[in-house]
A = this chain, B = another copy of it.
């Protein structure tokens, strides 16, 4: 057992290097998750109520306003939102762009899960976690599947 990293009995298992790369990708995605969740929520709130306040975000996210405030600072630092003390939060152009991409992706995932027979609430909940890990290829496979389902509905 000199070099376990190169052990490859099963064909569908990744080598050490690529496996590490995969995990790294997963980690990097994670860094974007919060940003996407926030801008999506902010867009929602603005659409629904005209403005996005820290307290609303906190309630929707289930965290304290402190956590939200600090995160908003980061998003501002990263050029996704603008905000002034004691005022509501706005999306920048790139924030809006990200929010739209996230929303689309989210909707596709939810619709896809529902098309498999997953209950709406569960689909909504699972999509929350899944959507951040769906590659372009997989997303395409999802939409493709949906397209087919619509042509031939209820093939049970």
Contacts and interface: CB of A to CB of B under 8 A. Distances in A.
Given A22-B128, A24-B62, A118 B137 contact: yes
A37 to B, nearest CB: 7
Interface residues of A, number: 58
Contacts of A1: 49-51
Contact of A133 (B48, B128, B144, B145): B128
Q: How many copies of the chain does the oligomer comprise?
A: 2
Contacts of A7: 48-49
A19 interface: yes
A122 interface: yes
Contacts of A122: 135, 137-138
Interface stretch (A53-61, A69-77, A78-86): A53-61
A52 to B, nearest CB: 8
A116 to B, nearest CB: 4
A66 interface: no
A12 interface: yes
A18 B45 CA distance: 16
A62 B15 CA distance: 12
A133 B128 CA distance: 8
Q: Sorted from nearest, which 6 A-B pairs have the closest CB atoms? A: A129-B133, A20-B62, A4-B49, A7-B48, A116-B141, A1-B49
16 contacts: A4-B48, A4-B53, A12-B110, A14-B124, A19-B61, A19-B62, A22-B124, A23-B62, A24-B62, A113-B138, A122-B135, A122-B138, A126-B134, A128-B133, A129-B133, A133-B133
